[in-house]
Amino acid sequence: AQSVTQLGSHVSVSEGALVLLRCNYSSSVPPYLFWYVQYPNQGLQLLLKYTTGATLVKGINGFEAEFKKSETSFHLTKPSAHMSDAAEYFCAVLGGTSYGKLTFGQGTILTVHP
């Protein structure tokens, strides 16, 4: 079975500051890992994904994440926050099944202050 824990339900940063959203996962098989962003009253948009290969993955809007197997982590970072980054972010894991069941974390709301 897979599970995802996002540390911190709310994160607040100043515009231009580093964004760090934490995600730890549990999976009995090599995982596929994802970060999604959700703006108010909208669906989920894929930011980036790790499937195989390079452990540092780059996504849209300047976000990146690093898969660390030894730490079972997949933290999301962005060097410089922008006001438009304010949203809710979800980490998700896929693995060990023959179909596409995504298991999501509880989400982290990112607030960006001017």
Residues that bind other proteins (CB under 8 A): 4, 32, 36, 41-46, 49, 51, 90, 92, 94, 97-107
CB 104 to other proteins: min, Å? 3
Which CB, 61 or 80, lies closer to other proteins?
Answer: 61
Rg of the chain over CA atoms, in angstroms? 14
Q: Which residues contact 60 (CB under 8 A, 6 or more apart)?
A: 47, 48
Which CB, 4 or 112, lies closer to other proteins?
Answer: 4
Which CB, 82 or 101, lies closer to other proteins?
Answer: 101
Q: How many angstroms separate the CA atoms of 49 and 47, rounded?
A: 7
> Which amino acid is present at 74?
F
